[in-house]
Amino acid sequence: MLEWFLLAALVVSGLVYEYRMHSLTKKIGILENEYCALKSSLEREQGHLKISLSSIERSIESLEDKVDRIKNEDIHDIKDDISFLKSWLKNVGKIATSTRDKLNPSMDD
């Protein structure tokens, strides 16, 4: 009788063990699927971030180029404006001198 009882206990223990192993195997499968999904998601997000960073870097480079071009254009424009003002002042001076000489020829001395 004791042998039957031990055998029954052993069978029940085996069934409990099988149930737990099946449950753990199922949970491991679910976790593996979640891991694969998360890994794929992270890889996609990493790709999106790389594209975004690349786009930001290109935008920064473009802005730096525009700033450099604007600086150079401003310097050249200022130089052109100064040259124009110098020539304009020379012309105004010549006109003023010519007008003065015409109005008052005796001031040449």
Q: Express each pLDDT in 3-32 by its tens digit.
A: 888 889 899 999 999 999 999 999 999 999
d(CA 73, CA 60): 20
Q: Considering the entire predicted model, what is its pTM?
A: 0.46
Per-residue pLDDT at 29? 96
Q: Where are the domains of the chain?
A: 66-99
Per-residue pLDDT at 25? 95
Phi, psi values for residue 33, rounded to 5°: -65, -45
| Tens of pLDDT, residues 35-91 | 999 999 999 998 888 888 888 888 888 888 888 887 777 677 777 888 888 888 888
Per-residue pLDDT at 107? 57
- DSSP H/E element including 43: helix 2-103
Per-residue pLDDT at 2? 81
The answer to whether 101 touches 107, Cβ cutoff 8 Å, is yes
Per-residue pLDDT at 18? 94
* pLDDT above 60 for 108: no
